[in-house]
Amino acid sequence: MEYLYLNFMGVKEMFEHIKKRDGSVVIFDSTKIMTAITKAGTATGELGEREARKLTLRVLTLAHELCLGPVPGVEEIQDIVERVLLDSPFYKTAKAYILYRLNVLDRALGKRLLCEMTKDDILSCQTKVFSEFSAVTSNRSLFVIKQVFKQGLQVKSVFDDPSAVVSYPSEKEHERNQFLLPSDLDRLVEASGQTRAKFYMPALIYLGAEHGASRQEALSLKWPDINFSYGDRGIIRLFRTKYGRERTEYLMPRTKKALLGWREHQGWTSQRKKMDAGGSDLVFCRLNGKPIKRFDKAWRATCKIAGLDDFHFYDLRHTFCSNLLLSGSDLKEVKEMIGHRDLSMTDRYTHLTLDHKRFLQDKLLEHYANGG
């Protein structure tokens, strides 16, 4: 099958581009398919990366046989993934993959019958998901709603489709670019000390702002991933399941101090309360070893005390990238530090390189004015 090209094999892709739900066209990356299947398979314990690779090959083979055209749509590829999983022996993984796509909707809509849903319900769900997550997640959720109504019409469980008149917002126009300057970051960390999450929240904040860690990278971090005694700084390993990419870098001093403080607090408290973590080596877990999966309430409280409106945890990644550029790094260096696959993902920070260039130009102006 010479038409198959997988970038996780180190060669050219089968498709060069893919169309997102808002109509924008981006570079096609088959590793996203493999990562999604691996994530679902790991959750069920049915399969690992090796099996996910074979299933991805089946997805791309079927995509080719169905003649999707040179630029397939995201929804077309995801439909094929579901079809391949349902035809495989991995039924639980297929179910987990489908439920993963529905998870956000379940929280937004609750237990609702399809025939009870109106256009206003769908718009309200879209707004809620958009404000809590992003335009990308909102569009993904709307697509699932549209597919459910499509199926409902086919089996005659509903007789009209209110989702048909709800449009996808532009993902490009709604990219978040909020970030904190050093003084704002200090204020956020100080505010976290006034919340119930005061022992672990500073570590989470510094992981985001000083290492560009996503929520997933931070919450899946394990103590063996950190070597505090390496050199004079220590090192940390972060793994991004979304892209299947791993980063290893030196620990920033404030991050190191916050992590050590959290570990010391956990050890002291577990001894005092005579509780055992049950063998868990997760950095962010309860005393009984149960992982901390969400910290939305503590985050909102921290931001409110700090006086930050509409600031998301993910914005700390923007804070990391933006301050790297403002401190003198170029776009290529930021791409490597944050773990982006290509420079196009780092283009949103181009305006900050202009600010840095102006700083350099001002220094040059001063040099000329002083006669060298």
Structural domains of the chain, with CATH: 7-165 (no CATH), 182-358 (1.10.443.10)
> pLDDT band at 316, cuts 50/70/90?
very high
Number of CB atoms found within 10 A of residue 331's CB: 18
Report pLDDT for 349: 55
**216-220, 259-263, 330-334: the lowest-pLDDT one:** 330-334
Query: What is d(CA 113, CA 287) in angstroms, rounded to the nearest whole number?
Result: 39
* Cα distance between the two ends of the chain: 65
Average pLDDT of the residues in 118-145 = 79
How much of the chain exceeds pLDDT 70, in percent? 79
Q: Which residue has the higher pLDDT, 95 or 89?
A: 89
Q: What is the pLDDT of residue 351?
A: 55
Mean pLDDT (whole number) for 175-189: 86
Q: Determine the distance from the C-alpha atom of residue 258 to the mean position of all C-alpha atoms in its chain, rounded to a whole number.
A: 23
Residue 172: CB atoms within 10 A of its CB come to 13
Tell me the average pLDDT across 87-107.
74
pLDDT of residue 31 exceeding 80, the answer is yes
Q: Say yes or no to pLDDT of 277 above 50.
A: yes
Residue 19 has what pLDDT?
Answer: 82
Element (DSSP H or E) covering residue 188: helix 182-192
User: Which is it for the CA torsion 10, 23, 136, 163, positive or negative?
Assistant: negative
Confirm if 345 and 335 have CB atoms less than 8 A apart. Answer: yes
Residue type, 131: S
Does the structure show a pLDDT above 90 at 72? no
Q: What is the mean pLDDT of the chain?
A: 81
The whole-number pLDDT of residue 188 equals 97
pLDDT tens by residue, 285-295:
988 888 998 89
Rounded mean pLDDT, 66-81: 79
pLDDT, average across residues 136-146: 79
Give the per-residue pLDDT at 11.
38
Judge whether residue 22 has pLDDT over 80: no
CB atoms within 10 A of CB 313: 18
Q: Could you say which DSSP state residue 71 is in?
A: S
pLDDT value at 9 more than 50:
no
Question: Average pLDDT of 76-86?
Answer: 85
Residues forming beta bridges with residue 165, ordered by sequence position? none
List the beta bridge partners of residue 247: 238
| Identity of the amino acid at 29 | D
Predicted local distance difference test score (pLDDT) of residue 39? 85
pLDDT at 28: 85
Write down the pLDDT at residue 8.
44
Q: What pLDDT is recorded for position 12?
A: 45
Of residues 370 and 108, the one with the higher pLDDT is 370
